[in-house]
Amino acid sequence: MLDTQGEVRKVLIVRTSALGDVVHALPSLEALRTQFPKAQIHWLVEPLSARLLESHPALDRVILLERQKWKKLLRSPLRWLSLAAEIARFGQTLRRERYDVVIDFHGNLRTLGLRLLAGGRHRLGFHRHDVAEAGGSLFTTHRAPRQPLRQNKVEKDLALVRELGFDGPCPRGRIQLSPSDRAWARSLLDGLPGSGPAVALHPAVSRFGEIKRWPAESFRALIDALRSRHDARILITWGPGERRVAEAVGRPTLLPAEVSLQRFAAVLEGADLVVAADTGALPIAAILGTPTVGLYGPKDPVVYAPFPVRGEVVTSNAPCSPCLLRECEHRICMATLAPQAVLAAAERALARGRASA
């Protein structure tokens, strides 16, 4: 355990992306606030995920990492001096905060550079065997003990906060939504055709995770069954760059336009059920209390499923599932997830939701 040697006044969380991973770290934020009720807690994050952290009661400041802007500057050698100057200014901004503790929830080479920019009296990270990239644990002043291989990402993140003395149960995490966003989502869901439960289906995955996508025809069969058996009100959700995937399902009703992350989250909160593969929609819905059905082929649900609130999980019986691949020619694990099995899981989740309500 890390001895912080006096009062902790400022903490910096480094979890810049991706959306699902940012959500997985929200329980750790709650644990930090419990452990250091008087400290200022800042979060370094990329703009796409930053909107979920705005107005969070446990956070004092959200610091934007303009990584995409830096990448554009990097592609033009004539602008490298501008890039270097901008990074130097960013580092000065971080160092002026004089952080007592910097916690890196990534453990890769990119955040190694961010740790060095931020400085900090203590730089806390994962064990060298628990980071995604060789060298990702360098330049930390303290590392958590090695974690179990099949451990949920939320618990793995929380292990860093436990190194700072937190010994309570895993918090649930929170996402703040405005009354206006909730009202907008409620109006949208109430206007869907049908008289049954409102079911949000998210067929897209990240562009780096195509291996995890459930086929459009499988979503189509699930929608037809939910309508036939429950007169379900169906909404197909999508985010930036995902409309084509949503339209490929070939069933109404799609989210009418690209909406803010808060409104997207409000839709997931207002639905009676959310069905998705391993993508950010699942942990968002779970934290907001919505029953979920998660579809897992290449990814291990023990590691990636929402936690501590678990919904229904449908896994593949393919002999190669789960795996560590990022690309796959056949994606047999997702193709063999039968719509009938997903329907049964959806009905169990809906029944539990009605009982708890």
List phi, psi (to 5°) of 210: -55, -25
Q: With cut-offs at 50, 70 and 90, classify the pLDDT of residue 346.
A: very high
CB atoms within 10 A of CB 275: 31
pLDDT tens per residue across span 61-87: 999 999 888 888 888 888 888 889 999
Query: Residue 40 carries which side chain, given as an amino acid letter?
Result: Q
pTM of the model: 0.94
Cα–Cα distances in Å, from 201 out to 15, 24, 165, 219, 313?
27, 20, 40, 8, 15
Q: Which of 93, 120, 90 is nearest to 104 (CA)?
A: 120
Tokens linked to 256:
């009418």
pLDDT tens per residue across span 180-231: 999 999 999 999 999 999 999 999 998 888 999 999 999 999 999 999 999 9
Q: With cut-offs at 50, 70 and 90, classify the pLDDT of residue 104.
A: very high
Choice between 354 and 4, residue whose per-residue pLDDT is larger: 4
Q: Which domains does the chain have, with CATH numbers?
A: 10-162 (3.40.50.2000), 180-356 (3.40.50.2000)
Q: Which of 137, 281, 156 is nearest to 212 (CA)?
A: 281
Tokens linked to 238:
């999508």
pLDDT tens per residue across span 106-125: 989 889 999 999 999 999 99
Q: How far is the C-alpha of 274 from the C-alpha of 292, rounded, in Å?
A: 5
Question: What is the number of alpha carbons within 13 Å of residue 18 lying toward its C-beta?
Answer: 12
